[in-house]
Structure 1
Amino acid sequence: MSLKLLFGFHAVTVRLKVAPHSVRELYVDASRRDQRMRQFLVKANDAGVAVIEADDARLQQLAGTHRHQGVVARVEAVQNAHSLDDLLDGLSEPPLLLVLDGITDPHNLGACLRVADGAGAHAVIAPKDHAVGINATVAKVASGAAETMPYFMVTNLARTLGELKERSIWVVGTSDDAPRGLYDADLKGPTALVLGAEGSGMRQLTRKHCDELVSIPMMGGVESLNVSVASAVCLYESRRQRGFKS
């Protein structure tokens, strides 16, 4: 079975919590003995995972970056337990989905997963051919959300949007030139919020499959928001309209 790397306290701690059996090797900075590391080592011990002490050079080699925080793990890939259909069938509240079209930067994806987790979205959806997959950088930026937020990469995004509409999920795209503002839209019901990459936005085919287009009001001099910030604005507006009920 192929292994992948996780690094940083948040990403590795969440994996220890949700799937400790998948952690094959856990490396820690032998010179770091501050409170945060001591607390982390307790969690590793509680999870039954042995640690391997290493120096900074070895950790950098493993992680491919100096931003490892003294924690690097080799882990088995954890597959989503459900298909998108199974996940939707099992929900007890109106679905809230984040659809990302053309997001290829791992930092943006990691931040979007973190936002989606915080806002209580049920899943993040992206096309296989216009998106970045879950890698170590995504997991680090996501601060654990890459382990908890279902991320579905679909072969045909337009077809998937059509299938969501067949489930009576309202597909709301964001666009700077939309005739209606975000705060005028009804996001209380089953909703899929579609965001494109900063600058280029959604692809035309994706745009055509949206039920409605809305814009995020921009009051200052900048023309647009980073996609993770825009995702937060949209997701939390939907949660606000729903009364933040889980």
Structure 2
Amino acid sequence: MAGNSQRRGAIRKAGTKKGAVVGSGGQRRRGLEGRGATPPAAQRTKHPAAKRAAKAARSAQGRHRKTDDTETVLGRNPVLECLRAGVPANALYVASGVDADDRVTESVAIAADKGIPILEVARVDLDRMSSNGLHQGLALQVPPYNYAHPADLLADARSDVQPPLLVALDNISDPRNLGAIVRSTAAFGGHGVLIPQRRSASVTAVAWRTSAGAAARLPVARATNLNRTLKEWADAGLQVVGLDADGDTTLDELEADGPIVVVVGSEGKGLSRLVRQNCDAIVSIPMAGPTESLNASVAAGVVLAEIARQRRG
């Protein structure tokens, strides 16, 4: 056929009378070749097993980010309060062209005095650090808190001339309560605070700020199992005293001149059942007015003040 040799894919076969014809270009031969072994189900993106594996990986990554990654404090007032309270920081981010008021100027001055790196970044970079963009041109990067081991916490407390005075927290989920309790423990001669590893407030920038710098001086330990740690401390000779509004012993009847650990429950849930069973006594604070209960941090401060008074006497 005239002009057939100009068509795409046309080849001329020797010994034929037709002349140029259209061939497959080898595609049929390649289509018959094997593609190797079928990959596992978890590696096939459309397979349900692969989707489940990807979901589990994202969940594990989210849990790791919640507990171990650095924290970013956003906003002029929060950043300035953290710097004033001595919260450790890796870097201070300042947006380019930001309107520098007194808070920005003081934040930069404090960071410079403490040797904290000051980085000028574009505003869009700060927007990526915040979900709502309310950074006001200022951000502070806070490293993860270095928790102590419960055994080391007790050993350090025993090395003091005063009998060990420790505070354990149960069901405390507000970091502001944690920071206030750390501050009260340091003020009344306590040796450290113990928190559970899960379902508990951690030492975040908010807790640092509320503690007014006491978190830098007082060790905070994290227990994998709070009940087991309390049992170990009880076997080591510490009196385990739970603090609850429905306690069978009043604070006036408490004798706290020896080694003691005060277990503080939340205002709403109180002490959990297992923790309550591990306590040697459940202490309540006598109330003169109609108020049924106190905030957890306030109640802890009252008990610690009474313990400090007894030890001074």
TM-score (norm. length: structure 1): 0.79
Amino acid at match of 1:173: G
Amino acid at match of 1:74: Q
State the distance in 2 between where 1:67 and 1:113 align.
29
Q: Choose from 52, 64, 72 the match for 1:5.
A: 72
Q: Cα offset for 1:74?
A: 1.1
Q: Choose from 177, 187, 196 the match for 2:265.
A: 196
- Any gaps of 5 or more consecutive residues in structure 2? 1-67
What residue is the counterpart of 2:44 in the other structure?
none
Task: Kindly indicate whether residue 297 of structure 2 is the aligned counterpart of residue 231 of structure 1.
Answer: no
State the distance in 2 between where 1:162 and 1:140 align.
32
Is 2:171–2:200's contact at 8 Å kept on the other side of the alignment? yes
Is 2:149–2:223's contact at 8 Å kept on the other side of the alignment? no
CA separation of 1:78 and 1:155: change in aligned 2, threshold 3 A:
closer
Is 1:63–1:72's contact at 8 Å kept on the other side of the alignment? no
Q: Choose from 95, 101, 119 the match for 1:52.
A: 119
Q: Choose from 178, 184, 203 the match for 2:253.
A: 184
- Any gaps of 5 or more consecutive residues in structure 1? none
The residue matched to 1:163 in structure 2 has which SS? helix
1:51-200 paired onto structure 2 within 5 Å: 51-52=118-119, 62=129, 72-80=139-147, 82-90=148-156, 91-92=159-160, 93-200=162-269
CA separation of 1:52 and 1:208: change in aligned 2, threshold 3 A:
same
Q: Cα offset for 1:238?
A: 1.1
Is 2:192–2:219's contact at 8 Å kept on the other side of the alignment? yes
State the distance in 2 between where 1:118 and 1:66 align.
38
Larger Rg: 2
CA separation of 1:87 and 1:99: change in aligned 2, threshold 3 A:
closer
Count of paired positions:
237
TM-score (norm. length: structure 2): 0.64
The residue matched to 1:153 in structure 2 has which SS? strand
Q: Cα offset for 1:138?
A: 2.6
Q: Cα offset for 1:64?
A: 6.7
The residue matched to 1:130 in structure 2 has which SS? coil
Q: Relative contact order, CA 8 A, sep 6+: which one is greater?
A: 1
Task: Kindly indicate whether residue 93 of structure 2 is the aligned counterpart of residue 27 of structure 1.
Answer: yes
CA separation of 1:37 and 1:221: change in aligned 2, threshold 3 A:
same
State the Cα RMSD in Å: 3.2
Report the identity percentage.
35
Q: Cα offset for 1:243?
A: 1.7
CA separation of 1:51 and 1:71: change in aligned 2, threshold 3 A:
same
CA separation of 1:65 and 1:167: change in aligned 2, threshold 3 A:
farther
